[in-house]
Amino acid sequence: MSPWSLRDTLAAGTHGALGRARDAITATEPDVRAWVEFAPEPTGPRSGPLGGVPLGVKDIVDVAGLPTRCGSVLRAGAAPAVADAAIVAAWRRAGAVPVGKTVTTEFAYFSPGPTANPAAPGHTPGGSSSGSAAAVAAGHVPLALGSQTAGSVTRPAAYCGVAALVMSRGRFPVDGVTGLAPSLDSHGVLAARVDDLAAAWAALTGEPDPAGRTPRTPRLLLCTAGPLEPPMRAALAGAAERLRAAGTVVDLLDAADVDALTAAHPVVMAYEAARERAVELAHPGSLSVPLAELLHRGAAMPETEYRAALGRVARHGEALAAATHGYDAVLAAAAPGPAPRGLDATGDPVCSRAWQALGRPAVTVPGLRDDAGLPLGLQLVGHAGHDGDLLATGCGVEQVLRA
């Protein structure tokens, strides 16, 4: 099992891509368990820059004709969606073909599904876009959709050794997505490499391909915040040195504002989740312990505490905007370390909380591994609304780290 490059597929022609996906899924899905539902065989012409590219869709996102079960027993009997989510419709217009729904954790929170990690057998694939990350890592599809409220795209991509983009919040509407916290939820997409994400972004938006931009000297800020494990700390430091040797400017970011945002994020998430998932909160006996605890904590939270957290997000966000002005991106760890052993937990989203609170785009850069061969993912965090610029920076960083 190995990831399947979108860019290589587009260069070779997409004829036969759906059959390739079908064959790959048939061969390894019993071991990977990345999917919960498959779409009927598509018919008719396929147009658009991605014409005929198979696409996996996280099962909190509506696909017309398929149920949206959200990894929950409360949705076990859900009727098929009557229309595509807005983000799925956008990918269809670009030519992508949804082939099925991928496993999500329960309502995109912590309770894991059955999915295995193709890049690290016996270790978690992360959460909550675990099915999409595993489907890309296993070579089932070259593109898969995810969503991120805390670290639900960045972390599974890092654990499974693939690339991912968390889009600037609000870049595309969230109609048809079962969200968790409205001021934190963002769209995501996963692929084999960063330059595959760049090709996908150009197809989705009509913008010039970020991978084709004329290189210039990148300017990065190194962030070492978070409880990083020794292999990740060494990988991050080594990556910074390699980038400096290649001519990149890499300065150190003061982590105080990052730490403050990391602390504010769970407060906002709990308060909003309790109100967004109020219907489910009325059935606590049908929820996992972690989700029930989150919703109860948020429901009991005074509004003053929530408003204070939002104030901290605004205040420290302004400070970080000033600190990162003039830099292309922040270079940081995508997760504290490699994927933890076992499938009963999904790992820690701590490395993403600060950036998710701000709604900034983030790119997970794969390619590094620890001494045991487990994937180690880095992330680049850009400026809100500048996803294409971030992908261009990510392509350059990827080239250096793969050299």
CA torsion 303-304-310-312 (nearest 10°) is -160
Residues with catalytic roles:
58, 128, 152
Gap between the Cα atoms of 318 and 399, Å rounded:
32
3-state SS track over 271-332:
HHHHHHCHHHHCCHHHCCHHHHHHHHHHHCCCHHHHHHHHHHHHHHHHHHHHHHCCCCEEEE
* Residue 204: both structure tokens together: 């989705």
Q: Is 291 helix (H, G, I), strand (E, B) or coil?
A: helix
Output the CA torsion sign for 73, 145, 337, 317.
negative
Q: Is 249 helix (H, G, I), strand (E, B) or coil?
A: strand
Residue found by looking up tokens 């105080």 in the block: 256
CA 175 vs CA 57, 269, 295: distances in Å = 15, 19, 22
Beta-strand ranges (E) seen in 112-239 are 143-148, 163-166, 186-191, 219-222
